A and B are shown apart, each in its own frame.
Chain A
């Protein structure tokens, strides 16, 4: 699976959009980009995933660059409950390759 690079930490004001970048310059054509987050002392929570098209759901939007070497997770109106560690994971969606490889992620702090 391709390696990802994320900033160690970020702050965002409550009510503003939080934009979390992820670099995955060695991504291959059949690898998906996944985002999970882990709120303190809880299990990770799936947010969104995509292959090459931008994706949106009730939690967030995922913007993937045309060359697929980077992506941005957007939380449109951040709340204090969005304070968490956010993990960008790249993975081939193939039988026998189901494991998620978590890096160090980005610690996002929402400021009141």
Chain B
């Protein structure tokens, strides 16, 4: 059973470009979470999604950031018009239905904004 997959693992963008980060949850998992880890800081929750629904987006910046988890395909975290402060590691986690207490994390996407 493959773990949580994220791609790309590394992404370089220039200021003003768009960044799209993809997350494929573990097989059978219907809950996806996104976290951000700024350099030398702890992980911060961003958003929690179930298939086609955003359940909790209390950690998402109000502008430029959006997330989706369509019925088919991976979850996408989209950052529009990136700025240098968006440089961070973005981690996705998933959990199975009925066992939300355990979150399984992917390897992360390292975003560098030049």
A→B interface (CB under 8 Å): 32, 34, 38, 42-46, 49, 87, 93, 95-96, 98-105
Establish whether residues A43 and B44, one from each chain, have CB atoms under 8 Å apart when the complex forms: no
Interface residues on B, range: 20 to 34
A99 to B43, CA, bound (A): 11
Instruction: List 9 A-B residue pairs with CB atoms under 8 Å apart, sorted by A's residue number.
Output: A42-B108, A46-B102, A95-B100, A98-B33, A98-B95, A99-B56, A102-B42, A102-B44, A105-B42
A101-B56 contact given A32-B101, A43-B108, A46-B103, CB 8 Å threshold: no
Residues of A near B59 (CB, < 8 A) are 99
A98-B108 contact given A43-B91, A44-B91, A103-B42, CB 8 Å threshold: no
Most buried by B among A32, A38, A100, A105: A100
A46 to B101, CA, bound (A): 10
Closest chain B CB from A41 CB (angstroms) = 8
Kindly identify which residue among A44, A49, A98 contacts B43, using a CB–CB cutoff of 8 Å: A44
Establish whether residues A43 and B56, one from each chain, have CB atoms under 8 Å apart when the complex forms: no
Q: B71-113: contact bitstring with A at CB < 8 Å (1 yes, 0 no)? A: 0000000000000000000010101000011111111100000
Establish whether residues B93 and A43, one from each chain, have CB atoms under 8 Å apart when the complex forms: yes
Closest chain A CB from B20 CB (angstroms) = 19
A38 to B105, CA, bound (A): 10
Given A49-B102, A98-B33, A101-B45, 7 other A-B residues pairs in contact with their CB atoms under 8 A: A32-B101, A43-B106, A46-B104, A98-B103, A99-B59, A100-B103, A102-B35
Residues of B near A96 (CB, < 8 A) are 55-56
- Give chain A's interface secondary structure class: loop
Residue of B nearest to A48 (CB): B102
A101 to B55, CA, bound (A): 16
A49 to B106, CA, bound (A): 20
Kindly state whether residue B31 has any CB partner on chain A within 8 Å: yes
Top 3 A-B residue pairs of the complex, sorted by shortest distance between their CB atoms:
A43-B105, A99-B45, A102-B43
Establish whether residues A98 and B107, one from each chain, have CB atoms under 8 Å apart when the complex forms: no
Residues of B near A42 (CB, < 8 A) are 107-108
